[in-house]
Structure 1
Amino acid sequence: MLYRLLLGVLVAVVVSAIRPPSAATVTIKNNHPLIFYHGRWDSSPGTWWTGSGFKLNVENLQSLALNLGLHTTSPFAAIGVSINNAPFFTVNASAGITPIPLPPVSSAARGSTTLVRINVEGSVSNRINLESITLNANAVLHPYKPSKLVFQFIGDSFSSGYLLPMGVDQAWTFIVGERYGAEHRINAAPGAALTDVPSYGNVHGISYQYFKVEDTNYYYTTDHNYTTPWNFARDQPPATHVVIHIGANDSAQNVTASQFVQVYTDFLARIRKLYPHQPIFMLTPWGWPTSDGNVYYYYQGQYQEVLNARTTLGDKNIFLVDATGWVSYEDVFPDSLHPTVDGQVKIANEFTAWMENWGLSPNASINA
C-alpha cells in the first residue's frame, strides 16, 4: 500500500515537472479607477450609443483580453481598436473571452506604455458588457490623460456611421475628432428625428433620448427595455464644442417647418443649460443628392430661424454652418443616398476647413 502511494506521488511530481506552467496574467476589474470610460455606459457596465468605449494606458503590455458579460450583443458586437494611435481595426467581441490582437513588442519598447483605445463601432447592435480585462502578469496600468479638446456630436444616421464597413470609426464625426486629437462623444442614431415622434423604428426622438443613458434602440433589448436619466457629470472632461446635424427624419415624418423650429429651439435651450459657455455649431443639411445632378434639401431657411431665436435671447456663442454643396451623388450610396466612406471624408474635410476659418486649427497644441 505504501509502495503504491509513493509511486503515485512520484508520477505526480514527474508530470508536474514536464507540464509547462500556465502563463500568468492579471485581471483588471471593471471598476478599476484607471480605466477611462467614455460615452454612455449603464451600471452593468454596458455600452449604449455608438462610439462608447474606454481607454487604457498600460506599461509592459504584451497580451490583452476582454471578459464580456451576457448583455453583450449576440452573436457579437463590432469594436474598433487602436494601439498607440495607429489606425483602428475591427474585432468582433462576444460574451465570454475576446482576445485583442496586439502588434509584436520590441525589446526597445519593453517598459514603455501603450495606449489602447476601444469603442463600439455600430450605430445599432453595439452593446458590450465589460466584466473585466485580462493583461499579462507584469503589465501595469497608468492614468490616461484626456485631451483638453472634447467634441460632443449630436445627430442621426449621417453622424452615426450608418452603412459604413467600420461604423462610426469611419464617420465624419469621428474623423474630425481624430484630426483634432480630441475626445469625442457621439450621440447619433439612424432613423431618429429630433422631434420626439416614432421614426423608422425609433420610439423616441433625439430631443428625448439625448438626455438618457440608453440610445433609441433600447426598446428592442429584452434585458433593458426602459430608459434612465443620464448624469452629465459623468462626461469628464466636459465638452468644449457641441456640433449638431439633424432634421432629415423630422422632414420624413412630416414635421412642419414651424414645429421643427420650435422643437429645435426648445432643445437648444436645454442644451445650453448643460453647456453654458461652449460654442454650439448647427449644421444645415447637405441634402439628398440624386443622379440627375440635383440636391434636395429640407427645412430651407428654418435653421436660420432657430439661430435667430437663440441670438434674440442674447446667445452669442451659437453658429450656423452652411453645409450646402458639401455632398454630391458621387459621395453617397445610390440605394440610400447616405455618404460613403469617401463621402464621410469629404464632409470631414469641409467641416474642418470651416472650423479653421472660425478659429480652431487641428494644429493647435491641445494636449499641452
Structure 2
Amino acid sequence: MRFFSSTLSLLAAVASATILQNGQVRDMVFLDTTIASVASDRSWRTYGPSASEISYKGRWDSKHISWWSAPGLKFSFIGDKVAIGFGNYTSPGVLVAYRLDGQDWMFTNVTANSTHQFISSTTTSFNLTTQAQLPQTLELRVTNWAYGIQIAGVHVSSSSKLIKLPNYSKTIEIIGDSLSAGQYATYEGISSYAWGLGAGFGNVEFFITAYPGICLVDTNCWGNPRGQTYQWYHASDTSGRAVEIYNDNPEVWDFRKRPAADIVVINLGTNDNNTHNNVTNEKFLQSYLEFVQGVHQVYPYAQIILVSLWNGFSPVGNSYAQGGAFIEEIEEVYNYYKHTGFVHYFNTTGIMQHNDIGPQYHPTDVGHVKVASHLMQYIKLNFGWELGATGPEVQHDTLYWNDQQNY
C-alpha cells in the first residue's frame, strides 16, 4: 500500500491520500497541518532534535532520520500548541500518524523542509483548564516502511516546555520482513501484527526492525542489497533512500540508544524461501543459527521467539490448506538452542485462514490482528506479561459493527 500526497495547495484546509480497500477507493481526508516556519517567531520556543526531552522510538540515525517500520517520537508538554519541523531528508508526502494522549490516531502528509502544527487549543480533547490532565502527551509515528522523516526541531509556545517521558520497564523487538513491516495493510506499519503486538500490550517499549523483501541470509533479495544477518546491526534499513544517503557505508547501530529487549520475535525466511533468491536450505539453517547467537550476544537476557512461516494458502480438494516454508530448518534451530532456555518456538499454523491473506500474499488487517492477538497470549502465558492497554487506540479504522436486526 502506498499513500499519495494531495495535489491541493498547501494553503488548503485538508490533504488527502488514497487507500484501496478490496480494490475500491476508501474516502479519506487528512488534515493539512502545514504552517509557516516559526524560526523567527518569538511566540514559539524551539527544542533541537537532540533535546533530551524527546524520546525517539525505533531506529533513528545520528542525523535524526527515521528508518525501518513505524519509527516515531513521543514527549509530554505543557502549553497550548506543538509543532514539529522536518528536515531535508524527509520523504516527500510521507504519511504520519499522531495523537494527543490516548485519543484516536490522526493523520497528515509531511514533506521535507516544512513545519507542521499538530496541537492547538482547538485540538480534540485538548484541555488547558483541568490541571489533573496536565501535562499532555504527543506521539507521532511514520506509517510507511519505505519512507522516513528527519526531525529538525520541536516547537512549543514560548511560555511552555517539553517533558521527557520515562521508558516502560519492558521492551520487545520484532525482526522481520514485509509480513512484520505491514506491507499492503491499510496503514502499513501501524496496521501490522508487529505493531499490534507491541502497542497492544500498552505498557512496553517496542521496535519493529523489518523491511519488505529482505532475507535472513546476507544476500540480495528483491533489490535489498543485504540480509538481516548484516543489516540488523545497522541504523538504516535497505531502502533506496538508505542507499542514496549512505551508499555502502551505513551507520552501525548503537544498541545502547534503546532499552535492551526482554523479548525478541524473529519472523524471517519467507523471502529466502522464494526460488528467485537462490537461498539453499543449508545456508538458511546456518545463517539462522548464527543470527540467533548474534541476537543473544546483543541481548544476553532476552527471550527469543522463532515464528514459523505461514507462507500463504493453496486450494486442496474442496477447501484450502496453509503452506509452510523452512519448517524443518526453523524447528532445528529451536531444537539446537532449546536447552539454553532462551529460545522458543511459536507455531502460526491455524491462526489464519485463507481469507485472512490478501491478493498480494500478505495478511489483511484482520489477519494481522489475529497473529498479534495470539502472540500476545503466547507471551502472557509463557512469560507472565500482563496486557496493559486500557483504552488508547491500537489499530486505526478497525471499528466495525452491525446494528440491523434483520437484513
Asked if TM exceeds 0.5, the reply is yes
Whether 1:215 aligns to 2:237 is yes
Question: Out of 34, 51, 58, which is 2:70 matched to?
Answer: 51
How many residue pairs match? The answer is: 337
Q: Is the 8 A contact 1:83 1:117 kept in 2?
A: yes
**Residue identity in the other structure for 1:328:** Q
The SS at the match of 2:97 is strand
- Aligned equivalent of 1:297: 324
Q: CA deviation at 1:107?
A: 4.4
CA distance in 1, matches of 2:333, 2:125: 53
Per the alignment, do residues 363 and 165 of structure 1 end up closer, same or farther by CA in structure 2, a change over 3 Å counting? closer
Structure 2: 5+ residue runs without aligned partners? 1-40, 390-407
- Aligned equivalent of 1:112: 134
Q: Is the 8 A contact 1:203 1:219 kept in 2?
A: no
Q: CA deviation at 1:263?
A: 0.5
Q: CA deviation at 1:138?
A: 2.7
Question: Out of 55, 59, 82, which is 1:40 matched to?
Answer: 59
- Aligned equivalent of 1:228: 251
CA distance in 1, matches of 2:117, 2:243: 26
Whether 1:84 aligns to 2:101 is yes
Q: Is the 8 A contact 1:218 1:225 kept in 2?
A: no
Structure with higher Rg: it is 1
TM-score, normalised to structure 2, is 0.78
Q: Is the 8 A contact 2:310 2:325 kept in 1?
A: no
- Aligned equivalent of 2:89: 71
Q: Percent identity?
A: 23
The SS at the match of 2:340 is coil
RMSD: 2.0
Whether 1:309 aligns to 2:336 is yes
The SS at the match of 1:301 is helix
Which range moved further: 283-292 or 31-40?
Answer: 283-292
TM-score, normalised to structure 1, is 0.86
- Which is helix-richer, 1 or 2? 1
Question: Out of 165, 168, 171, which is 1:147 matched to?
Answer: 168
Q: Is the 8 A contact 2:65 2:150 kept in 1?
A: yes
CA distance in 2, matches of 1:363, 1:155: 23
Structure 1: 5+ residue runs without aligned partners? 1-21
Per the alignment, do residues 349 and 190 of structure 1 end up closer, same or farther by CA in structure 2, a change over 3 Å counting? same
- Aligned equivalent of 1:329: 354
Question: Out of 183, 186, 191, which is 2:205 matched to?
Answer: 183
Q: CA deviation at 1:214?
A: 1.0
Whether 1:357 aligns to 2:381 is yes
The SS at the match of 2:271 is helix
The SS at the match of 1:305 is helix
Q: CA deviation at 1:44?
A: 1.6
CA distance in 1, matches of 2:242, 2:78: 40
CA distance in 2, matches of 1:363, 1:42: 31
Q: Is the 8 A contact 1:289 1:327 kept in 2?
A: no
What does the per-residue CA deviation read over 1:13-39, in whole Å, with 9 as the maximum and x for residues that have no partner?
A: xxxxxxxxx781211111211111122
- Aligned equivalent of 2:33: none
Q: Is the 8 A contact 1:90 1:166 kept in 2?
A: no
